[in-house]
Amino acid sequence: MSLTRRLLVAAALTAALATPAAARGRLDRLEMSLGTLIGSGDIGSIRGMSAGLHTEVSKHFGDVGIVGQYDLLGVGEDPTLNQKKDPIRGIEHRLGVSARYTIGRVGKDFINADFWAEAGLGREFIQWDAGGKLTRDDITLAIGAHPMFTVGKQRYIGYFLAFRMNIAESPDARFELPAVCAGPCDEPTPPSPTDISFFFNFGITFGK
């Protein structure tokens, strides 16, 4: 079974198991969001500022939601920090699906806000400006807040603020690289097998 099918099956099972308990007394809703990601992206030995577009479509069943995501990011070395005339830069496309759970809710009627936690899987497609590409899977974890304002019958507009962490296998882990000491140390260590990227995520949401 392909990665995409596995993600869709996992999302459907999560919703099916959680809906009976979570959705009693609550309306289902569909949301569309457009925002941005700003943070630091790790791709093996390449580290630097990463920023770009974040879009998502989500279907909520009470306190549980299934979220489909697409990100378009600039990745690579930061020319200021690396002091390089031609830093390594590229473009990343990311597709993902996550399960989101509302851990708290405040307000009612015209204005209310959800506080949520999220976990999911994704696929990164990275194309370097000077040539070459990298494709890999990742895991995403996030926490966020989502204030919403009613603008019509069962319609609302809002915004979201979130912190995200993407975890992926480092491309360096595919090679048997020697252990090194990057600074004074008692024992050299091999490169980390895991890349961890952190992002501040914010944007606007429309729902009904």
Helix (H, G, I), strand (E, B) or coil at 143: strand
CATH of the domain at 62: 2.40.160
Does 187 map to a domain? no
Does 183 map to a domain? no
Nearest to 31 by CA among 161, 202, 155, 162: 155
Total tally of structural domains belonging to the chain: 1
Cβ-contact 103, 113 below 8 angstroms:
no
For the chain, the 3-state helix, strand and coil shares in percent, each to the nearest 5, are: 15, 65, 25
Does 186 map to a domain? no
Does 7 map to a domain? yes
Helix (H, G, I), strand (E, B) or coil at 24: coil
Q: Which residues are CB-contacts of 62 (< 8 A; sequence separation ≥ 6)?
A: 19, 22, 23, 24, 25, 26, 28
Q: How far apart are the first and last CA of the chain?
A: 34
Structure tokens belonging to residue 186:
């008692």
As a whole number, mean pLDDT of residues 91-101 equals 97
Q: What does the alpha-carbon distance between residue 132 and residue 106 come to, in Å, rounded to a whole number?
A: 48
pLDDT for the residue numbered 18: 44
Band (pLDDT 50/70/90 cuts) for residue 87 is confident
Does 134 map to a domain? yes
Does 156 map to a domain? yes
Does 29 map to a domain? no
- Structure confidence by residue, pLDDT tens digits, 23-76: 333 458 899 999 999 999 889 888 888 999 999 999 999 899 999 999 999 999
Does 117 map to a domain? yes
For residue 69, give its domain range. Answer: 3-22+37-171+192-207
